[in-house]
Amino acid sequence: MLAFIARRLLVAIPTLAVVVALSFALTRAAPGGPFDEEQALPPEIRANLEAAYGLDQPAHRQFVRYVAGLLRGDFGPSFRFRDFTVTELIAGGLPVSLTIGLAALTLALAVGIPLGAGAALARGRFLDRLVMGLAVAGISVPVFVIAPFFALVFGIWLRWLPVAGWEPGRATDLVLPVATLALPVIAYVARLTRGSLLEVLRAPWIRAARARGLPQRAVLLRHALPAALLPVVSYLGPAAAAVLAGSLVVETIFGLPGIGRHLVQGALNRDYTLVMGMVIVYAVFMILLNLLADLAYAWLDPRIRHGRRA
């Protein structure tokens, strides 16, 4: 298993290097700059600001300087939030984003797997059609539609939950954002679980387990379901990407102080270092979550970690 982890990390390092290089190039290639205001700055003030932040140097020197700071754990100063460094902004918003994202993934797995398994066991009956109908709706409706709808119904009409804001320790602030992010993932997990479980239940070794007189519950939980979860585990990487991408919209709509909102503000303000810091953080978490998904897949199917195929 250690060799398997080492191989994955060796692939992750150049991937992260490419992300850093591309994000640096794309932020510099975007039109406008961090000091473009509605009222143009005097040339001497602009020159002083660019010199203070190193923007007067050639691009390759700026990149080398930025990478050297990254190796020390320094994401640089924010061009717009001048009282904070990018590291401080990330440290302030990351706990909120992590809480919402991990809660959404946990909820999606806790709800989606039982729904998919129930639909597979009730194939062709009302429960199956209901779950698959809801799954199609969950996949089809985007997050930026779900979030305002939830806020309107549960926050404004019913007044059950707060529409926006964040107070540490208040669980009600998490309900709508987490449900919004989890809903599309629940739909995908339910569909994957149903399809995979139906296929596994037709396998010869499942019929053999039933022929030995094992109870249906034991056949399902000990033999069929672990094998049926392989596609779900493979989907955890894209699911994490969907949650991270959705958090940009959700944090903005619900007024949450997470790093997703900082990324949106940084892009609008041409805050190069803030955008790059957020992109790198997202890339690191994507790599780590995909590594965890690979480890879970290898645990369920030992052939993967030994480099063998079926």
In a domain, 13, yes or no: no
User: 85 phi and psi, to 5 degrees?
Assistant: -90, 165
pLDDT band of 309, cuts 50, 70, 90: very low
Cα–Cα distance for residue pair 80/66, rounded to 1 Å: 18
CB 135 within 8 A of CB 225: no
Residues 250-282 pLDDT 10s:
888 888 888 887 787 787 778 888 888 888 888
* Summary mean pLDDT of the chain: 82
Average pLDDT over residues 195-222: 80
Q: Is the pLDDT of residue 300 over 80?
A: no
| Domain housing 195 | 95-260
The predicted structure's pLDDT at residue 237:
76
Q: Is the pLDDT of residue 304 over 70?
A: no
In a domain, 239, yes or no: yes
What tokens appear for 237 in the block?
Answer: 């990487």
CA distances from 98 to 34, 185, 275 (A): 28, 16, 18
Q: Is 255 helix (H, G, I), strand (E, B) or coil?
A: coil
CB 232 within 8 A of CB 196: yes
Q: Is the pLDDT of residue 310 over 60?
A: no
Number of H helices, E strands in the chain: 14, 0
C-alpha count within 13 angstroms, C-beta hemisphere, residue 22 = 9
Which of 54, 55, 35, 57 has the alpha carbon at shortest distance from 45? 35
C-alpha count within 13 angstroms, C-beta hemisphere, residue 285 = 20
Q: What percent of the chain has pLDDT over 90?
A: 13
Q: How many domains does the chain have?
A: 1
Residue 243 amino acid letter? V
CB 258 within 8 A of CB 247: yes
DSSP letter assigned to residue 83: T
Instruction: Give the highest mean pLDDT range of 43-57, 106-120, 253-267.
Output: 106-120
In a domain, 160, yes or no: yes
In a domain, 69, yes or no: no
Average pLDDT over residues 10-25: 86
In a domain, 76, yes or no: no
In a domain, 124, yes or no: yes
CB 251 within 8 A of CB 95: no
Who contacts 48 (Cβ-Cβ below 8 Å, separation ≥6)?
none
Q: Is the pLDDT of residue 36 over 70?
A: no
Who contacts 214 (Cβ-Cβ below 8 Å, separation ≥6)?
223
CB 86 within 8 A of CB 76: yes
The predicted structure's pLDDT at residue 107:
93
The predicted structure's pLDDT at residue 294:
74
pLDDT band of 27, cuts 50, 70, 90: confident
The predicted structure's pLDDT at residue 180:
92
Q: 131-154: buried (b, 16+ CB within 10 Å) or exposed (e) per residue? A: bbebbeebbeeebeebbeebbeeb
Cα–Cα distance for residue pair 19/157, rounded to 1 Å: 44
Name residue, tokens 């549960």: 154
Q: Is the pLDDT of residue 48 over 60?
A: yes
Kindly report the pTM of this predicted structure: 0.79
What tokens appear for 278 in the block?
Answer: 């957020």
Please report, for the domain that includes residue 186, its CATH number: 1.10.3720.10
Size of the chain in residues = 310
Average pLDDT over residues 171-193: 91
Instruction: Give the highest mean pLDDT range of 28-37, 84-93, 243-252.
Output: 84-93
Q: CA angle, corner 271, sides to 260 and 268, nearest 5?
A: 65
In a domain, 128, yes or no: yes
pLDDT band of 153, cuts 50, 70, 90: very high
Average pLDDT over residues 30-53: 70
In a domain, 220, yes or no: yes
